[in-house]
Amino acid sequence: MRTVILGVDGLTFRILHPLIERGDLPNFKKVSQEGCEAILESKYPPLTPPAWVSLSTGLKPARHGVYDFWTYEEQGLPGAERIPRAQTKRKGGKAIWNILSEYGKQVLVINVPVTYPPEPVNGIMVSGYMTPSSNLDFTYPARFKEELYRVVPDYEIDLDLHSFWRKADAMQLLIDATLRMTERRIKLTMHLLKEKPWDFCYVAFVGPDRLQHSLWEEIRSLDTRATEYFRLLDQGLGLILEQLGPDDTLFIVSDHGFQGVTHVFNINEYLYSQGLLTPSSPEHIGRAHRAADVKQVVRKLGLLPMARKLKRSLKHKGALKVPSRSAWTLAARYSGMRQVKYVGHTIKMVYSTHTEGESNAALRLHMQKSMILYQLFCTVWACPRLTLSMADYWMRSLCPAASLDRQQVK
Ligand SMILES: [Zn+2]
């Protein structure tokens, strides 16, 4: 008996059911009729990295240590800026592929998010979303990378979303790129399923999340072009089903659902209106833009990991002083405090503080007020369940008690 987990980021019945009814997805229809389906609750917070890692480990974020897309280096000297780093791997707990490997089962783990660096398994692992660069060793065993590119020469771990920005036909480019990436992943998956021994295969596709963030209304209205991806995914599902025997099991799972939003509550705007944030000087903003442009060029050249290493080393030796690149600063009376940038789905940035004191308490009070407003806003305008839990999460992140969760990670 073998098992396949087909993970699809952001897949929702809101889209699947109408497409099945329209006759677009014969293989999803077959699975739906012959199997069973249910809406499951995502994890807390319902963001892609913690939700996938919980799916892979069966653990809460407090146990596997992934709460977010970012992690922050441990607190250094008072007043020092905390440097965010991409969260590429879990901090604790065993994933299902570790356990199965220990039992001698052959596993294939393909593009599951937050799995960089790839782990030694009894089989093959290809790291997924959050892998810093395809120039790195993102497969286990490392030599499998050569075979991967031989079988699928243009294999992509994820989309380069920056390449579409500011282009007139960005949406068409996004759809085409998502289709190409998915065709290649299906090709790799079929190669592995046919050519390698396996008891367990766990493969993740990310297309719905990438497309629905930009094209929700078009996909929701079942526009033919915007929903092309789902027909391709259905074909991929059909190919996987052909490989399965009567004793084999298939799970189709997602990390969270999806729905549209019509309004955005911008916490920066609120803090600005309260006099708690001030825009940086024009020079400061210009410098931030220039630094972002340079970074993009370096990334395109595939030199970002090397450039970061060099920058860290120069900073460490005191040879390089890098000024803050934030376009916002805390207002003067809070200038002694530290800032944490927070990038989320809806809120662009949240400022928090890490030192105690009278003014800190005042700022926290304002932040709590903004959260209450945000919660009211969510209740009235947006999806209460998802957004309220996110607001609650951010509320916790403003309190010192939130750090307790992190200490639970072993
Ligand atoms: Zn996701």
The span from the CA of 59 to the CA of 260, in Å, is 29
Examine the pLDDT at 400 and tell me if it is beyond 50: no
Mean pLDDT of the chain: 77
In the reported structure, the alpha carbon of residue 256 is separated from the centroid of ligand 1 by a whole-number distance in angstroms of 6
pLDDT at 44: 75
Cα 214 to ligand 1 centroid, rounded to whole Å: 14
Tens-digit pLDDT profile for residues 150-167 = 999 999 999 987 777 667
Alpha carbon distance 296, 162 (integer Å): 8
Q: How far is the CA of 170 from the centre of ligand 1 (A)?
A: 21
Residues 66-99 pLDDT 10s: 888 877 665 555 555 556 678 888 988 999 999 9
Residue-level pLDDT at 335 = 35
d(CA 76, CA 388): 32
Q: How far is the CA of 46 from the centre of ligand 1 (A)?
A: 8
Percent of the chain with pLDDT over 70: 67
Contacts 24+ apart (CB under 8 A), 267-275: 267/347, 267/348, 267/349, 267/350, 267/370, 267/374, 268/328, 268/348, 268/349, 270/370, 270/373, 271/351, 271/366, 271/367, 271/370, 274/366, 275/331
Tell me which DSSP letter residue 77 carries: S
CB atoms under 10 Å from CB of 352, counted, come to 19
List CB-based neighbours of ion ligand 1 within 5 Å. 9-10, 48, 209, 255
Specify the DSSP element, H or E, that contains 262: none
Span 223-248, mean pLDDT?
96
State the pairing for strand pair 249-253/200-205.
unpaired
Whole-model pTM: value is: 0.70
Average pLDDT in the 331-348 region?
Answer: 34
pLDDT in tens, 7-65: 999 999 999 999 999 999 999 999 999 999 888 888 777 789 999 999 999 998 888 98
Please tell me what DSSP assigns to residue 408.
T
Q: What is the residue type of 17? A: H
Task: Specify whether the CB–CB gap between 349 and 340 falls below 8 A.
Answer: no
pLDDT at 196: 97
Measure 362 CA to ligand 1 centroid, in angstroms: 35
Q: Is the pLDDT of residue 243 over 90?
A: yes
